[in-house]
Amino acid sequence: MSQQQPTPADTAGGVRHDFLHDFLLDPARHSPGAPAVIESPQAGHTAVTTYAELTALVGEYAAGLHALGIEPGARVILEADTTAPAIAMLLACSRAGLTFVPVSPETPYRRLESIAETVRPALHLQELTGQRTDVRPPVGTARFGPDGLTVDRAPVRRPPRRGTPCVTDPAYIIFTSGTTGRPKGVVMSHRAVVAFYRGMLAHRIAGPEDRIASTSPLQFDFSLLNIGLALGSGASVVPVPPPLVRWPRHLLRVLRETGATQVNGVPSIWRQVLRHEPRRLAALDRLRGVLFCGEEFPLPELRRLQELLPAARIVNCYGATESMACSFEDVPSPLPESIERLSIGTAHPGAEMLLVDGTGAVIDAPGVVGEIHLRSPALFSGYWDDREATRATLVPDPLCPQSGQYVLRTGDLALRGPDGEFYFAGRIDSQVQINGNRVELAEVERRLTEHPGATAATAIPLPLPGGGQRLAAFVVPAAGGDLGDAGALREFCAQTLPPYMVPQEIRLLDRLPTTANGKVDRAALAAGAEPAA
């Protein structure tokens, strides 16, 4: 198939760089021979894909997709881990005017089916090694590999209803867990994702010499952040296959063999490494950056990470899938002992975080907790086919509701520091009632991790048989730390917390369960807890 065949986005003209693929493949950012993707899935095997090779693969895939006659704007399920071909394929979808929906090869069939019922894809794509066999017609199926696209079942050809691709078209849809249990499809336009990339790149977190290890599965937007950070900086992406992230030795092996200079992931990727492989971690002398996102980094673990990687720049990246992320703040090095909370800084250039109180008024005073509302050009367009949920999340700008401009209501609480910087203060829904008292779970967790023998903690409410809730906590002891028993930990909490905030039950765990994207799995903790007597 000719690589020169025009694809819809090629004919757009004018604003080329506001399409995802144009922005990331902009030749001005990188030299053709420079490594774009460095992989090391098995010990001793390192594969490099240069920018020229990646661009050629994108061209080949885009031409293959175009030849299938799929209507521009159609959805394509991209079932893959982060690999060089998968990165090429998502850029090819962008170039072919198709909206990609990344899903993991580990996605259970029922969930995949529910995503497919929601977005009605034209095509399901997987790598040559993909195991999925039960995709139902009329969805077309195809595989991609180093030699191009192989069609198993042709998708339905439809005459295009759209002519010129537009930067407000959906670039991708990412499905989040959704609090109701039904996954919500976050629709991101080319314009929004490129606006985000521009804001992120202004922080100069990476340069062309960097090799950025991405530990997040492709179906989470954190992986797209990493791909954008690497390609947007002319650096290389180092995808770490999800099964390897879970094993400290494998993770460290990939980092060593690929010469990774930066590791980006949720805080939990470090927990077992710090516990079991501190020396091997400290020996990674090329590592000079860590970016974390997704949840608070327990301070004892963060301090330990700084001790082991004293020269590393550690960046706290805050945000939600609905805006990709919105702030990047360097963690002070070393972290002062007096610090209780990490700053999430302020929004990236071109965006602004506001705090809003329960009456909808904007809070200006420092120290007052409010809900973060984000004014930004990098907001999602809406939840796919879910107007009600979209209306609840994209709300009129509290600064000027008359303007018709919408902002993202995040559901996150924060307060401002003396210099206008923001401090994350938990989710709105992490405020629970225990015996009629309002308890902020994050505050309980913070107190528990102040114990010198604790390294991480999670507090959750559990139901009481006769109604009401009790407070339970799960604590991970530091390696070699002395936590004492549950009674001693309760006493430790009672030194600073009111009695109703002292967990009635405290359990010690070697590891906290995590969700597929590596955040603490509170539902699993609750499900595994024994009912109260």
Tokens 């804001």 label which residue?
Answer: 199
Q: Are 99 and 66 in contact (CB under 8 A)?
A: no
Whose CA is closest to 296, among 410, 421, 425, 455? 425
Window 485 to 524, contacts with ligand ADP (CB under 6 A): 519
Min CB(316)–ligand ADP separation in Å:
5
Residue 126 or 316 having the CB closest to ligand ADP: 316
Cβ neighbors of 343 (< 8 A, separation 6 or more) are: 316, 329, 417, 421, 422, 423
Number of residues in the chain? 533
Tokens 């209780």 label which residue?
Answer: 340
Q: Of 144, 318, 384, 423, which lies in the binding site for ligand ADP, with binding defined by CB under 6 A?
A: 318
Q: How far apart are CA 251 and CA 260, in angstroms?
A: 11
**46 touches ligand ADP by CB under 6 A:** no
Residue 112 or 122 having the CB closest to ligand ADP: 112
Please identify, among the stretches 139-147, 192-200, 226-234, 314-322, the one whose residues bind ligand ADP according to the rule CB under 6 A: 314-322
Helix residue spans in 328-478 (DSSP H): 387-393, 441-449
Q: Of 82, 261, 316, 458, which lies in the binding site for ligand ADP, with binding defined by CB under 6 A?
A: 316
Residue 305 or 344 having the CB closest to ligand ADP: 344
Please identify, among the stretches 71-79, 198-206, 311-319, 471-479, the one whose residues bind ligand ADP according to the rule CB under 6 A: 311-319
Residue 127 or 371 having the CB closest to ligand ADP: 371
DSSP code for 362 = B
CA end-to-end distance (rounded Å), the chain = 68
Whose CA is closest to 507, among 478, 475, 484, 468? 475
CA dihedral 386, 103, 292, 269 (to 10 degrees): 130
Q: Of 98, 123, 320, 351, which lies in the binding site for ligand ADP, with binding defined by CB under 6 A?
A: 320
Min CB(56)–ligand ADP separation in Å:
33
What amino acid occupies position 245?
Answer: V
Window 264 to 303, contacts with ligand ADP (CB under 6 A): 293-296
At residue 16, the 3 state secondary structure works out as helix
**412 touches ligand ADP by CB under 6 A:** yes
Sign of CA dihedral 479, 485, 486, 488: negative
Task: Tokens for 344, please give them.
Answer: 């999430």
Residue 38 or 456 having the CB closest to ligand ADP: 456
Min CB(343)–ligand ADP separation in Å:
10
DSSP code for 453 = T
**206 touches ligand ADP by CB under 6 A:** no
Residue 16 or 427 having the CB closest to ligand ADP: 427
Q: Could you give the string, one character per residue 324-363, with x where binding to ligand ADP holds by CB under 6 A and - elsewhere?
A: --------------------x-------------------
Q: Could you give the string, one character per residue 417-436, with x where binding to ligand ADP holds by CB under 6 A and - elsewhere?
A: -------x--x---------
**Interface ranges with ligand ADP (CB under 6 A):** 176-177, 293-296, 316-321, 344, 410, 412, 424, 427, 519
